[in-house]
C-alpha cells in the first residue's frame, strides 16, 4: 500500500495541473454529449470558400444565439448547440446578400450540416442549393453504431413502466435487462446530461434497483445509445454508453401535469386458454413538468416532479387460509400458537422482564415507491458562454420479505417467506431504500472561431440502506425462526438477518474538460475525463444472531425456564472481530482518470477521418484495508501469495481509435462509415469491494447446532449476549474456516477492441436502409478463480471430465487428495483478467422519419457473443459459481454469453393526425420478436466434486450404455429401461439436445422459444388555443402484450421446464479419503409429476410476462 | 460513376459483413468427452427373503425390475438377481392385492418415504440378502420428520460368498422374530465328537455388535463341519445350562454350502406365524 498512495496523489496532481493548463489557455468550444452542433461551408456563387463570413444561429424557442465566422477555407463550426429547434441560421458577408435558413432541429450527438452559397449584392443567384439538413442517420460525424430517441418518441411510444429502458430496448442491438450486444449490463455507462448515473458499485445495472429508474421520461428530451463511438472523449464502457439529455426551458412557458393508473382489473388472466389467479394491486404514477424563461433569451428553468407507487398485498397465505383442496395452511392450524407467541413477546412475565413488538401477522401493503425531482437552469451568459446546471434526485424504496437464506449455515426449513407453511411477522420484513442526488454543471464556451471549451463538473451521491418492514427502525433484537408441526418453518420475528447496518454510500465526483481547436480541415480536441469514487459499504449478516426453535412452546419455555429439552436447535451469530469496531465496513476510494487527444480531419469534402488516443488510469486507495495475518503466510495454487489488504496497482490503459465517414456520392444518399479502436470500461466496484469486506478478519462466527449444544445458551434478547471476548487483534480469533476475496495486483479494467462498419443508403420514398456490423474482441475480460482449489485428482469414469477430492475441512488430512489447498480457506476467489471472449452483432434496418405524422423503423439483428465468464453477478461467489462448466471452474470454457439474443427483430411505427382544429390522435406500436433467453443444461448436484452444485454441464448420451440411470426416489415406479426411454425421448424432441448427442452441453447453448411482444399506445388529444398557447387534454392507453389481449395463445412467454435435467445421485463406487472414485456417476431423470414423463422442454410462463397489461393516463399540456 | 460507386458500396458491405461473420465467430471450446463404451459392469446381486409374519406373498423389485416373484412368508427368491450398483431403490409389493396393515396399499420401500433421496447404496460386485421383517401392524415411529412408514421393512445384509474349506459349511444366524427378546443359538451336532457352534446374544434385527476391534459382523459365515445339527434357539444373552430351547429344529448342512438360518414368526404367533426357523442356501 505504501507505494500506491503516492501514485494516487501523483495522478491527482497530474490531473490538476492539466486542468489548470486547459482553463488557463483561453480555450475554445466543445461538443459534449449533451449537445448537438452545426457546421458547414460558406461559398460564393462559384463554389469558392468565403473566409470571414459571419454565421449566427439562433435556437428560436429560447433565443439562444451562437455566433462565429468562417475560417480561411470558408468552413464554420458551431459546437455545443442546444438540442432541439428550430434553428434560424443567418450568414452574412460584406458585398454579398445575407442568407437565412431555418432548420427543424439539432439532435443529440448528431450534428447538423448546413452549407450556404451566397450571391453578390445586386445579383440574383441562378441556382439556390439547399444542402442543409437536420442531423440524422446520414451525417458526417456518425462513424460507429448508435441509436437516438427523441422527445416525440418518449411522448408517443408505449411505455407501461414509464421508464426510459422501454425505449432503449428498441435499440436493435439491445438484449435482456438493459444489456447491449450480448455483453453484461454491468458494463454500460448510463449518464444523465453527461453525469455518471450508473450504479457504479454495480449491485444492479441502474440505480434505484428494483424500485425505479432515476429519471422520469417526462424530463428526458433525447436519449442516445452508443455502441461504438470512435470519439475518444467517450469512455467508461465496454457495453454501451447510454446518455439521457434532459429538457430545458425556453422563452415560452410549457408544462404538463399527468397521471397514470392500473390495477388488477387492467391485466389479462389467460395464458393459452388457462385462467390465472390475479392478486389485487394498484399502481399510479403522477407528476408534472414546467419549463420557461426567467429572463427571456437569457435564463431558463425546467422542473419535473414525479411520484410512483405500487402496492401489492404482502400476505398471500394468511392465518386462517386454506389451500385449493381446502386443507388449512400450517399457520392456520397453528393460529392459537401464533397468537400466544405474539402476546408473550409483547408482555412481561415470569423471568421475562423484556417486551418486544414483532409487528403484525395480518396483511399490509407491500410498497414499491419512488419520488423523482429534477431542476435545470440554462444560462446564456453571452454568445460565447452558455452554462447549464442540473440537479436531480431519486428517493425510492421497496418492501421485501425476509430472506430465506441461512447465511453461513443451513437455511431454515421451507424458508421464512410467506407460503403455505410460514408467515413472518411484519417487522422481520425489510425496506430497501435507494436514494440518489446528483448535480452537474456544464459550461460551453467559444473563443473566436478557433477554439471551444466544454467543462463539466458533477457530483452524485448514492445512498442505499435498509430499514425494517414498513420503514421502521430495524429492531435491536435477534432473529428467531420457529419450526411448525410439519417440519417447515412456521414463523419468524426479530431483525431480518441481512438488514442491520446494511448500507451502501457512493460518492462520485466528475471533472471533465474538452478543448477543441479548429484548424482548417482539422479539429483537434484535447480533453480529460475523470471520476473520483468513494465507497462505504456495511453488510453484517446475522450480526444480531439467529435462533431456531422446534416449536412455539419450546421458545416460550426456553425464555421462562430454559432446559435442554426446550433449547434452540440452532444458534448462528456473526460478530465483528475487529476490536472497537462494532460494524466493520468496506471503505475505499478509487479514481479513473482519463486523458485524450483527437484529430477530426475533413480529408475531402466527402471523407472525414477521426483519429484519437485516450489514456485511462484507474487508481485505488487501499489505505483503510485490513491485513489478514493468517492468509498472508499461506501459499495458494502455484505458490501464489494473496494479500487481502492490497487493491490492484495503478495501471495505464491506452485506447487508440480511428473512425471514418464517407459520403460516397457526395449527395448524402450513400454513406459508409466505420472505425476500429480500443474501448476501456470499468468493473462494477462491488467486485473490488468484495475483497475489502471478505478479507477473513472482519467477522468471527458462533454456530451451535443441536439442542444439546444449546442447553446452556438459552434465548437472550440482547443480540450481543453471546459475542465472545476479542483478543484485541483484528480478526483474532478468526472463524475456523472462511472465504477470502482478492484481486491480482496487476488486474486491469475491461478493455475491448471494437471494430464497426456501417452503410446507410437512402431509398425512394424517404426510407433509409442501414447495415451495421460491430465486432468486439476482449482484450482484458474479467474472470474469477479459486486460488485455493487443488488440482483434480482423477477423471470421471464414463465421462472424461476432471474430478476433485473431498474437502476434509481439517488441517493436514491427506493433503494431496484434499481439494482445498489450505484447509481453513473455503475459497480464495481472485479477480483476474483473461483475453478471450468476443461479440459480433450485425443489423439490417430500414427506417422512415417524416417531418410530421408517420415514423417507423424495422430492424433485424444477428448477434453472436461468447465469453469465459458472464461477468454479470455482484458477489465474488456468484461470479465464480455462476458459470456452468465442463472442465475446471478455474479454466472456464469459451461459450455463449448470458445476454446473447442471436436473432432479434425490433420495430416501431407511430402516426399522429390532427383534425377538426381541436382533435389529435396518435397511434403507436412497437414490436420485439426474440428468444426469451438462453440457458444451460446442467446436472443437479456436483458430479465433479469441485464443491459447486448445479454447475456441471451434462454429457448428452447417444445410447443407454452411456448413462447410468436410477429411480428418482422411493416412490418412483419406473424401470431402468423406462427411465432411459423417457430421457431418450426428451433428448430426441429437444431442439438443442438432439443436436448435441455424444457431446457435452454448452453453457447457454439452449434457447427458449421466441416471444412476439407487441405494445400499443393510443393518445387522444383535445386542444384549444388560449392566448396563443395550445392547451391540450390528453387521454392515453398503453397496452403491453397486445397480442395476448387479442388471443390468449399469442404473445406467449415460455421458460425452461428443467435446466438441471439430470440429478447426480452418487458414484458406482464412493470417493474415499485417499482416492477418487473409479466408478461411473449415477443420475436420476425425474418425471414431471408422478407417472407423467417430462416431455416438453418448455413451460408457459404464467406471470404477467405472458399476459396483457393496460394502463390509463390523463394529461394536461400547455405550450 | 454513381452506379459504379454504388456497386462498390454494395460489394464492400457484403464482403465485410461476410468476412466479419466468418472470422468473428468462434466455436465454443469444450473438450471431447470420453463416454462409456458399454453397459456398466459394476453390479450388485440380491437375494430376497420374506420373513415378515403375516405378510402376503411378495414380488421383489430392484429399480422396479423383477427380482423375485410371489415369495411367500418364510421363503426366499430363487437365486441372486444382478442389478446396477450404486444408489438404488428396493421394493416389495404384494403379489396380489395389498400388503395391508399400516402400509395399506403402499409398497415396502427401502427407507420408505415419498421423496427420500437417500436410497440404499449398493456396492459394486457385492452380494446382498434382503429380508422383509416385522409385522404388518408395526406402528409408524414417532420420530419427527422421519420417513419410516411403519409396517414391514427391509433389512439388508452383505453376503461373502467365498466357498468354505473342504468338508465345511458356512453358517450364520439372524433374529427376525419381532416380539422375541434377544436369543442365543446352539448348533448341536447329531454326530459325536464334533464342535458345537453357538451364536450368542442376537437381538432382533441386529446384524452386528460392538465397534472397532471388538466389532462382530453377524453377516459373516462361520465355518462348521458338514453334517446334521439340531438348531436350538434359547432366549437370553447366553446358552442356559438347563432350559428347554424356545425353538429346536434339525438341519442337514451339506459340505461346501453357505447357509443363513433365521428365527422367524411370533412368540405369541398362531398358525403359520408361530416361531420357526428359516433357512436360506446361498450357493
Per-residue pLDDT tens for B122-153?
888 999 999 999 999 988 876 555 567 788 98
Cell numbers 476434509 correspond to: A808
Question: Rounded CA gap, B175 and B178, in Å?
Answer: 8
Contact A544, A241 (CB under 8 A): no
Residues in chain B closer than 8 A to A893 (CB atoms) = 28-30
Least trusted range by pLDDT, from A320-329, A802-811, B234-243: A802-811
Mean pLDDT, residues A345-373 taken together: 93
Residue B114 pLDDT: 42
Provide the chain B residues 73-112 that lie in CB contact (below 8 A) with chain A.
84-89, 109-112
pLDDT above 90 for A605: no
pLDDT, chain A, mean: 88
Residue A1113 pLDDT: 97
Whether residue B40 and residue A866 make contact (CB cut-off 8 A), yes or no, is no
- C-alpha to C-alpha distances, A394 to A218, A369, A397, A613, A623, nearest whole angstrom: 14, 10, 10, 36, 32
| B32 reaches A (C-beta below 8 A) | yes
Residue A795 pLDDT: 93
Residues in chain A closer than 8 A to B122 (CB atoms) = none
To the nearest whole Å, the CA of B281 is away from the closest chain A CA by: 28
Contact A945, A1073 (CB under 8 A): no
Mean pLDDT, residues A334-342 taken together: 94
- pLDDT tens-digit map of A1031-1060: 999 999 999 999 999 999 999 999 999 999
To the nearest whole Å, the CA of A971 is away from the closest chain B CA by: 5
- pLDDT tens-digit map of A421-451: 999 999 999 999 999 999 999 999 999 888 9
Residues in chain B closer than 8 A to A883 (CB atoms) = none
- Edge to edge, the sheet with strand A479-483 lists A489-493, A479-483, A546-549, A570-576, A699-705
Grid cell digits, residue A128: 439556390
Element (H, E) at A532: strand A522-538
| B9 reaches A (C-beta below 8 A) | yes
Least trusted range by pLDDT, from A38-52, A281-295, B222-236: A38-52
Cell numbers 421383489 correspond to: B60
Residue A202 pLDDT: 85
Residue A346, Cβ density class (10 Å: 0-12 exposed, 13-18 middle, ≥19 buried): exposed
Contact A1022, A1033 (CB under 8 A): yes
Question: Rounded CA gap, B112 and A235, in Å?
Answer: 62
Out of B20, B121, B144, the one facing A773 most closely (by C-beta) is: B20
Binned at pLDDT 50, 70 and 90, residue B214 comes out as confident
To the nearest whole Å, the CA of B34 is away from the closest chain A CA by: 5
Whether residue B33 and residue A773 make contact (CB cut-off 8 A), yes or no, is no
Residue B271 pLDDT: 85
Residue A142 pLDDT: 67
Question: Rounded CA gap, B98 and A525, in Å?
Answer: 89
Whether residue B40 and residue A1065 make contact (CB cut-off 8 A), yes or no, is no
DSSP labels, A276-322: ------EEEEEEEEEEEEEETTTEEEEEEEEEEEEEEES-SS-TT-B
Residues in chain B closer than 8 A to A487 (CB atoms) = 144-145
Binned at pLDDT 50, 70 and 90, residue A816 comes out as low
To the nearest whole Å, the CA of A658 is away from the closest chain B CA by: 17
- pLDDT tens-digit map of A910-936: 999 999 999 999 999 999 999 999 999
Sign of the C-alpha dihedral computed for residues A417, A423, A427 and A433 taken in this order:
positive
- pLDDT tens-digit map of A174-208: 998 889 988 988 899 998 988 888 888 888 888 87
To the nearest whole Å, the CA of A487 is away from the closest chain B CA by: 6
A98: closest CA among A125, A65, A76, A127?
A125
To the nearest whole Å, the CA of B87 is away from the closest chain A CA by: 6
Residue A16 pLDDT: 39
Comparing alpha-carbon positions, the chain B residue that sits nearest to A1005 is B28
Residue A813 pLDDT: 47
A508: closest CA among A190, A896, A84?
A190
To the nearest whole Å, the CA of A283 is away from the closest chain B CA by: 42
Residues in chain A closer than 8 A to B84 (CB atoms) = 964, 966, 976, 1068, 1082
Residues in chain A closer than 8 A to B12 (CB atoms) = 672, 759
Whether residue A797 and residue B113 make contact (CB cut-off 8 A), yes or no, is no
Comparing alpha-carbon positions, the chain A residue that sits nearest to B30 is A893
Residue A693 pLDDT: 87
Within 10 angstroms of residue B231's Cβ, the number of other Cβ atoms is: 22
A564: closest CA among A712, A697, A703?
A712
How, if at all, do strands B208-209 and B216-217 pair?
antiparallel
Cell numbers 448420451 correspond to: A957
To the nearest whole Å, the CA of B90 is away from the closest chain A CA by: 8
pLDDT above 90 for A655: yes
Helix, strand and coil in chain B, % to nearest 5: 10, 40, 50
Q: Is A341 helix (H, G, I), strand (E, B) or coil?
A: helix
Residue A12 pLDDT: 40
Mean pLDDT, residues A1059-1068 taken together: 92
Q: What angle do CA A650, A653, A654 make, to 5 degrees?
A: 150
Binned at pLDDT 50, 70 and 90, residue A114 comes out as confident
Whether residue A1002 and residue B26 make contact (CB cut-off 8 A), yes or no, is no
Mean pLDDT, residues A374-387 taken together: 94
How, if at all, do strands A919-931 and A1029-1040 pair?
unpaired
Mean pLDDT, residues A56-67 taken together: 90
- pLDDT tens-digit map of A853-895: 788 899 999 999 999 988 888 888 888 988 899 999 998 889 9
Question: Rounded CA gap, A135 and A121, in Å?
Answer: 31
Cell numbers 434505484 correspond to: A208
Helix, strand and coil in chain A, % to nearest 5: 10, 45, 45
Whether residue B113 and residue A998 make contact (CB cut-off 8 A), yes or no, is no
pLDDT above 80 for A809: no
| B125 reaches A (C-beta below 8 A) | no
Comparing alpha-carbon positions, the chain B residue that sits nearest to A975 is B64
Comparing alpha-carbon positions, the chain A residue that sits nearest to B146 is A487
Question: Rounded CA gap, A581 and A730, in Å?
Answer: 10
Mean pLDDT, residues A472-480 taken together: 91
Whether residue A972 and residue B119 make contact (CB cut-off 8 A), yes or no, is no
Whether residue A886 and residue B31 make contact (CB cut-off 8 A), yes or no, is yes
Percent pLDDT > 70 in chain B is: 86
Residues in chain A closer than 8 A to B26 (CB atoms) = 838, 866, 894
Residue B146 pLDDT: 58
| B5 reaches A (C-beta below 8 A) | yes
| B39 reaches A (C-beta below 8 A) | yes
ipTM of the complex: 0.90
Grid cell digits, residue A915: 383534425
- pLDDT tens-digit map of A508-562: 999 999 999 988 788 899 999 999 999 999 999 999 999 999 999 999 999 999 9
Element (H, E) at A376: strand A365-380
Taking the model in full, what pTM does it have? Answer: 0.88
Binned at pLDDT 50, 70 and 90, residue A33 comes out as low
Residues in chain A closer than 8 A to B34 (CB atoms) = 795, 798-800
B86-96 residues labelled b (16+ CB within 10 A) or e (exposed): bbbbbbbbbbe
pLDDT above 70 for A154: yes
Question: Rounded CA gap, A704 and A570, in Å?
Answer: 6
pLDDT above 90 for B277: yes
Whether residue B20 and residue A840 make contact (CB cut-off 8 A), yes or no, is yes
Comparing alpha-carbon positions, the chain A residue that sits nearest to B83 is A976
Q: Is A1055 helix (H, G, I), strand (E, B) or coil?
A: strand
Mean pLDDT, residues A631-657 taken together: 93
Out of A800, A838, A1066, the one facing B31 most closely (by C-beta) is: A800
Residues in chain A closer than 8 A to B124 (CB atoms) = 1068-1069, 1079
Whether residue B40 and residue A1068 make contact (CB cut-off 8 A), yes or no, is yes
Distance, CA of B260 to chain centre = 14
- pLDDT tens-digit map of B54-85: 999 999 999 999 999 999 999 999 999 999 99
Amino acid at each position: 500500500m505504501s507505494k500506491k498512495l503516492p501514485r494516487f496523489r501523483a495522478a491527482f496532481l497530474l490531473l490538476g495541473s492539466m486542468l489548470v493548463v486547459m482553463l488557463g489557455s483561453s480555450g475554445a468550444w466543445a461538443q459534449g454529449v449533451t449537445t448537438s452542433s452545426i457546421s458547414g461551408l460558406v461559398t460564393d456563387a462559384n463554389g469558392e470558400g468565403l473566409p470571414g463570413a459571419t454565421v449566427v444561429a439562433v435556437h428560436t424557442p429560447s433565443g439562444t444565439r451562437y455566433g462565429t465566422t468562417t475560417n480561411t477555407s470558408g468552413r464554420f463550426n458551431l459546437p455545443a448547440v442546444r438540442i432541439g429547434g428550430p434553428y434560424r441560421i443567418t450568414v452574412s458577408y460584406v458585398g454579398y446578400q445575407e442568407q437565412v435558413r431555418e432548420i427543424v432541429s439539432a439532435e443529440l450527438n448528431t450534428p447538423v450540416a448546413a452549407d450556404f452559397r451566397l450571391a453578390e449584392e445586386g445579383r440574383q443567384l441562378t441556382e439556390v442549393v439547399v444542402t442543409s439538413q437536420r442531423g440524422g442517420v446520414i451525417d458526417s460525424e456518425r462513424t460507429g453504431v448508435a441509436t437516438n430517441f427523441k422527445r416525440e418518441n418518449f411522448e408517443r411510444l408505449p411505455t407501461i413502466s414509464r421508464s426510459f429502458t422501454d425505449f432503449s430496448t428498441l435499440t436493435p442491438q439491445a438484449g435482456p435487462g438493459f444489456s447491449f450486444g450480448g455483453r453484461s449490463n454491468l458494463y454500460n455507462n448510463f449518464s444523465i446530461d453527461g453525469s455518471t448515473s450508473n450504479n457504479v458499485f454495480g449491485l444492479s445495472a441502474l440505480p434505484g434497483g428494483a424500485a425505479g429508474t432515476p429519471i422520469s421520461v417526462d424530463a428526458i428530451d433525447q436519449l442516445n445509445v452508443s455502441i461504438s463511438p470512435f470519439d475518444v472523449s467517450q469512455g467508461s464502457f465496454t457495453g454501451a454508453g447510454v446518455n439521457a439529455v434532459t429538457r430545458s426551458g425556453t422563452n415560452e412557458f410549457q408544462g404538463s401535469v399527468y397521471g397514470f393508473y392500473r390495477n388488477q382489473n387492467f391485466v389479462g388472466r389467460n395464458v393459452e386458454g388457462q385462467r390465472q389467479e390475479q392478486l389485487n394491486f394498484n399502481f399510479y404514477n403522477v407528476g408534472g413538468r414546467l419549463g420557461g424563461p426567467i429572463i427571456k433569451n437569457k435564463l431558463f428553468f425546467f422542473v419535473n416532479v414525479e411520484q410512483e407507487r405500487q402496492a401489492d398485498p404482502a400476505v398471500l397465505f394468511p392465518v386462517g387460509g386454506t389451500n385449493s383442496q381446502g386443507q388449512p395452511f400450517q399457520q392456520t392450524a397453528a393460529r392459537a400458537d401464533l397468537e400466544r407467541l405474539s402476546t408473550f413477546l409483547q408482555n412481561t412475565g415470569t423471568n421475562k422482564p423484556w417486551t418486544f413488538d414483532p409487528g403484525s401477522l395480518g396483511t399490509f401493503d407491500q410498497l414499491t415507491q419512488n419520488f423523482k425531482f429534477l431542476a435545470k437552469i440554462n444560462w446564456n451568459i453571452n454568445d460565447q458562454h452558455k452554462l447549464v446546471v442540473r440537479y436531480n434526485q431519486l428517493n425510492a424504496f421497496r418492501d421485501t420479505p425476509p430472506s430465506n437464506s441461512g447465511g453461513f449455515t443451513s437455511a431454515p426449513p421451507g424458508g421464512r417467506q410467506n407460503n403455505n407453511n410460514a408467515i413472518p411477522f411484519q417487522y422481520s420484513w425489510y425496506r430497501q431504500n435507494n436514494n440518489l442526488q446528483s448535480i452537474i454543471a456544464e459550461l460551453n464556451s467559444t473563443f473566436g472561431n478557433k477554439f471551444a471549451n466544454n467543462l463539466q463538473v458533477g457530483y452524485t451521491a448514492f445512498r442505499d440502506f435498509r430499514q425494517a418492514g414498513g420503514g421502521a427502525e430495524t429492531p435491536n433484537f435477534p432473529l428467531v425462526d420457529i419450526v411448525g408441526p410439519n417440519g417447515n418453518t412456521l414463523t419468524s420475528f426479530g431483525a431480518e438477518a441481512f438488514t442491520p447496518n446494511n448500507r451502501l454510500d457512493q460518492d462520485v465526483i466528475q471533472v471533465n474538460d474538452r478543448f477543441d481547436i479548429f484548424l482548417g480541415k482539422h479539429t483537434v480536441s484535447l480533453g480529460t475525463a475523470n471520476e473520483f469514487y468513494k465507497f462505504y459499504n456495511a453488510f453484517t449478516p446475522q450480526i444480531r444472531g439467529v435462533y431456531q426453535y422446534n416449536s412455539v412452546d419450546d421458545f416460550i419455555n426456553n425464555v421462562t425456564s430454559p432446559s435442554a429439552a426446550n433449547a434452540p436447535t440452532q444458534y448462528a451469530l456473526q460478530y465483528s472481530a475487529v476490536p472497537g469496531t462494532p460494524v466493520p465496513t468496506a471503505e475505499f476510494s478509487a479514481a479513473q482518470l482519463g486523458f485524450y487527444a483527437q484529430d477530426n480531419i475533413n480529408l475531402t469534402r466527402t471523407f472525414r477521418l477521426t483519429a484519437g488516443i485516450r489514456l485511462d488510469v484507474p487508481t485505488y486507495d487501499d489505505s483503510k484495508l485490513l491485513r489478514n495475518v493468517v492468509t498472508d503466510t499461506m501459499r495458494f495454487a502455484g505458490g501464489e501469495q494473496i494479500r487481502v489488504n492490497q487493491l490492484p496497482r495503478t495501471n495505464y490503459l491506452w485506447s487508440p481509435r480511428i473512425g471514418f465517414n464517407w459520403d460516397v456520392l457526395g449527395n448524402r444518399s450513400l454513406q459508409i462509415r466505420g472505425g476500429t479502436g480500443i474501448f476501456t470500461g470499468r468493473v462494477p466496484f462491488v467486485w473490488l469491494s468484495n475483497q475489502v469486506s471478505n478479507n477473513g478478519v472482519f467477522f468471527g462466527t458462533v454456530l451451535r447446532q443441536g439442542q444439546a449444544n444449546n442447553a446452556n445458551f438459552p434465548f437472550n434478547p440482547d443480540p450481543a449476549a453471546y459475542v465472545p471476548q476479542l483478543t484485541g487483534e483484528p480478526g483474532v480469533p478468526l472463524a475456523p474456516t472462511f472465504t477470502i476475496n482478492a484481486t491480482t495486483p496487476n488486474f486491469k479494467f475491461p478493455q475491448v477492441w471494437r471494430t464497426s462498419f456501417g452503410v446507410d443508403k437512402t431509398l425512394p420514398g424517404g426510407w433509409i436502409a442501414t447495415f451495421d456490423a460491430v465486432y468486439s474482441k476482449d482484450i482484458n475480460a474479467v474472470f474469477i478463480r479459486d486460488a485455493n482449489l487443488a488440482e483434480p485428482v482423477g477423471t470421471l469414469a464414463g465421462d472424461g471430465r476432471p474430478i476433485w477430492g473431498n474437502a476434509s475441512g481439517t488441517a493436514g488430512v491427506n493433503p494431496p487428495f484434499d481439494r482445498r489447498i489450505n484447509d481453513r480457506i473455503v475459497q480464495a476467489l481472485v479477480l483476474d483478467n483473461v483475453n478471450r471472449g468476443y461479440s459480433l452483432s450485425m443489423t439490417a434496418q430500414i427506417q422512415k422519419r417524416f417531418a410530421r405524422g408517420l415514423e417507423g423503423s424495422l430492424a433485424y439483428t444477428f448477434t453472436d457473443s461468447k465469453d469465459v465468464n458472464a461477468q454479470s453477478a455482484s458477489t465474488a461467489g456468484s461470479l465464480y459459481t455462476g458459470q456452468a462448466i465442463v472442465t475446471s471452474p478455474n479454466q472456464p470454457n469459451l461459450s455463449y454469453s448470458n445476454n446473447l439474443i442471436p436473432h432479434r427483430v425490433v420495430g416501431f411505427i407511430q402516426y399522429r393526425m390532427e383534425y377538426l382544429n381541436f382533435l389529435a390522435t396518435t397511434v403507436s406500436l412497437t414490436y420485439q420478436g426474440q428468444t426469451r433467453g438462453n440457458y444451460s443444461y446442467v446436472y443437479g448436484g456436483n458430479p465433479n466434486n469441485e464443491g459447486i452444485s448445479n454447475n456441471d454441464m451434462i454429457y448428452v448420451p447417444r445410447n443407454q450404455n452411456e448413462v447410468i440411470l436410477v429411480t428418482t426416489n422411493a416412490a418412483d415406479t419406473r424401470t431402468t429401461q423406462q427411465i432411459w426411454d423417457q430421457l431418450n425421448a426428451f433428448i430426441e424432441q429437444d431442439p438443442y439436445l438432439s443436436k448435441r448427442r455424444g457431446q457435452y452441453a454448452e453453457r447457454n447453448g439452449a434457447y427458449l422459444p421466441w416471444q412476439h411482444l407487441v405494445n400499443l399506445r393510443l393518445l387522444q388529444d383535445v386542444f384549444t388555443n388560449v392566448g396563443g398557447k395550445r392547451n391540450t387534454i390528453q387521454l392515453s392507453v398503453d397496452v403491453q402484450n397486445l397480442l395476448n389481449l387479442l388471443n390468449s395463445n399469442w404473445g406467449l412467454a415460455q421458460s425452461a421446464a428443467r435446466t438441471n435435467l439430470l440429478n447426480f445421485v452418487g458414484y458406482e463406487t464412493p470417493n474415499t479419503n485417499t482416492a477418487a472414485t473409479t466408478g461411473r456417476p449415477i443420475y436420476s431423470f425425474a418425471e414431471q409429476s408422478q407417472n407423467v414423463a417430462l416431455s416438453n422442454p418448455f413451460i408457459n410462463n404464467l406471470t404477467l410476462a405472458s399476459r396483457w397489461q393496460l394502463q390509463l393516463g390523463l394529461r394536461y399540456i400547455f405550450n | 460513376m454513381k452506379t459504379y460507386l454504388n456497386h462498390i458500396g454494395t460489394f464492400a458491405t457484403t464482403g465485410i459483413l461476410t468476412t466479419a461473420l466468418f472470422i468473428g465467430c468462434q466455436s465454443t471450446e469444450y473438450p471431447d468427452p470420453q463416454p462409456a463404451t458399454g453397459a456398466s459392469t459394476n453390479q450388485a446381486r440380491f437375494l430376497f427373503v420374506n420373513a415378515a409374519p403375516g405378510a402376503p406373498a411378495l414380488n421383489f423389485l430392484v429399480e422396479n425390475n423383477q427380482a423375485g416373484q410371489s415369495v411367500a412368508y418364510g421363503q426366499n427368491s430363487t437365486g441372486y438377481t444382478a442389478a446396477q450398483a450404486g444408489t438404488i431403490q428396493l421394493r416389495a409389493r404384494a403379489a396380489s392385492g395389498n400388503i395391508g396393515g399400516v402400509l395399506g396399499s403402499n409398497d415396502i420401500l427401502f427407507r420408505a418415504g415419498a421423496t427420500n433421496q437417500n436410497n440404499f447404496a449398493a456396492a459394486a460386485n457385492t452380494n446382498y440378502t434382503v429380508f422383509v421383517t416385522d409385522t404388518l401392524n408395526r406402528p409408524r415411529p414417532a420420530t419427527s420428520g422421519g420417513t419410516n412408514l411403519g409396517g414391514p421393512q427391509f433389512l439388508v445384509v452383505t453376503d461373502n460368498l467365498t466357498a468354505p474349506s473342504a468338508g465345511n459349511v458356512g453358517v450364520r444366524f439372524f433374529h427376525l422374530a419381532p416380539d422375541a427378546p434377544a436369543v442365543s443359538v446352539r448348533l448341536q451336532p447329531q454326530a459325536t465328537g464334533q464342535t458345537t457352534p453357538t451364536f450368542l446374544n442376537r437381538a432382533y434385527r441386529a446384524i452386528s455388535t460392538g465397534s472397532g476391534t471388538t466389532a462382530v459382523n453377524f453377516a459373516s459365515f462361520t465355518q462348521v463341519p458338514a453334517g446334521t445339527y439340531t438348531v436350538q434357539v434359547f432366549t437370553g444373552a447366553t446358552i442356559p445350562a438347563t432350559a428347554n430351547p424356545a425353538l429346536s429344529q434339525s438341519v442337514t448342512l451339506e459340505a461346501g454350502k453357505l447357509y443363513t438360518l433365521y428365527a422367524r414368526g411370533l412368540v405369541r404367533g398362531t398358525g403359520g406365524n408361530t416361531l420357526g426357523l428359516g433357512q436360506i442356501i446361498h450357493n
